[in-house]
A and B are shown apart, each in its own frame.
Chain A
Amino acid sequence: MGRIKEIPYHKKIRHLIWLVLTIFVLFGYSLQSVAGNAYLSIMMQTYATVSPPPVILEKGNCSGTTTVYTNKTSAVVTVQAPTNYSATFNYVLQIVNQVSDNWTINLQVYDNSSITRLSNAMISFDNGISSDQIIVSGGNLTKSQGEPCTLAGNATVNIVISSLQAAESGTSYLYIHLKIRVPDTSTYSLYVITFEIT
């Protein structure tokens, strides 16, 4: 019958010593691999205040429904497009400069829906400025952004809709930004004006 050889006690301890030494060496190396990144911060502090708008929107004086919302920085204009003749709405909205500073203004379409039914539509600035800003022709948006115009200090500019005619019934929407820019800068505010054309 075979006999199992027993490992002597002192050899067990020797093995234990070698194990402890190995762990110690490995632990030591792992400590040496710790590293960090250096960076610096440069600081920017901003102070923003809520101010009343220097330029506001006011209702026009023609038929159709114009709603100017709180603070007068957004509006919805609702007009009806005839199918058998073209109509002019002079004027549906006013842009009123309440301060003596000049501004540069223009209209920009940022979205639209169901405009294919529109034969023609033109949205223009009037009263001191004469500029066709937005044009729809044959159901297509042929001019989506107007040229920048100067809104003089304490002046008022009218928004006119002309040549408005639809090929069929329905409701079209033109979602427009009135961009009001500080002259000679790229600082500007955007007012939302929605044109609902029934």
Chain B
Amino acid sequence: MGMNPIKIRSMKALKLLGLLISSMIIATASAGVYYTLTMTSTISVATTDVRFINGTDAQAAGVQLGQKNTTVTLTNLKAYPNATYTYTDPIRLKNFAGTGSYKVSLKHVSISSGSTQFVFVNFTLQSPTKISLNYTYVGSSWNIPPETSQVTMNAGDVWSIVIQTKAKDGATSDSVTIQIAVDVE
């Protein structure tokens, strides 16, 4: 007695489905492999258009620019007890590009431990819409500020970064090292 034609078709369809699923699995795996094999990267050394330059208060703040002006260290910031100390123009950010703009934001990277005698250390980029990283010492720890919003820096723009410090009433000696990043997109 021969098989029912409908059953034969169903069997064929099931086989087809099985083949399809198998091919999909193979295709997915293969695609992953091909991505890895065909991806090529060309890495070239380039300088960013947005870089640090000295401000008028660079000497007072102990500014030391790194190579290509993409890093900077301020070694001589002071904080006086119960008095706000302001460096209006220690370091500047400049967009050296002839044309085009970048989006710039400030971001916390690290802060040293052990300091207890500060009230605040604030960094404010003097962009048209000012953005700030404000570190405040509350209780027994530093409040770490979140990353700022982005501001658009047009070709040729130069903005200073204002730094303000204040130590606690009665403070005699202490120190803190803070590292921040200027993200340029």
Contacts and interface: CB of A to CB of B under 8 A. Distances in A.
Interface string B23-39: 01000000000000000
Q: Is the interface of B mostly helix, strand, loop or mixed?
A: strand
Nearest to B13: A13
A185 interface: yes
A73 B73 CA distance: 28
Contacts of A192: 82-83
B131 interface: no
Given A17-B20, A47-B73, A39 B184 contact: yes
Interface in A132-186: 182, 185-186
B157 interface: no
Contacts of A113: none
A1 interface: no
A10 B70 CA distance: 67
Interface in B28-87: 48, 50-52, 56-57, 59-62, 70-87
Contact of B174 (A14, A17, A37, A49): A49
A187 B61 contact: yes
A90 interface: no
Interface residues of A, number: 41
> Which one of A37, A74, A187, A190 has the highest number of Cβ atoms from chain B below 10 Å of its Cβ?
A187
Contacts of A61: none
Given A43-B70, A53-B81, A186 B75 contact: no
Given A48-B165, A71-B170, A191 B83 contact: yes
A9 B86 CA distance: 81
Interface string B145-185: 00000000000000001010101011111111111111111
A44 B81 contact: no
A46 interface: yes
Given A13-B10, A41-B107, A41-B183, A74 B83 contact: yes
Contacts of A8: 6, 9-10
List the 7 shortest-distance A-B pairs measured between CB atoms, nearest first: A186-B88, A10-B9, A39-B185, A13-B13, A71-B81, A48-B77, A41-B181
Given A24-B24, A50-B80, 19 more contacts: A8-B6, A9-B10, A9-B13, A13-B10, A40-B184, A41-B107, A43-B70, A46-B180, A47-B175, A48-B79, A48-B165, A48-B175, A53-B81, A187-B88, A187-B90, A189-B85, A190-B83, A190-B85, A192-B82
29 contacts: A9-B10, A13-B14, A21-B20, A24-B24, A41-B184, A43-B71, A43-B72, A43-B180, A44-B52, A44-B71, A44-B123, A46-B179, A47-B74, A47-B76, A47-B77, A48-B79, A48-B121, A48-B175, A50-B171, A51-B80, A51-B173, A71-B82, A71-B170, A73-B81, A185-B57, A186-B57, A188-B88, A189-B80, A190-B84
Interface of B: 6, 9-10, 12-14, 16-17, 20-21, 24, 48, 50-52, 56-57, 59-62, 70-91, 107, 109, 117-118, 121, 123, 161, 163, 165, 167, 169-185
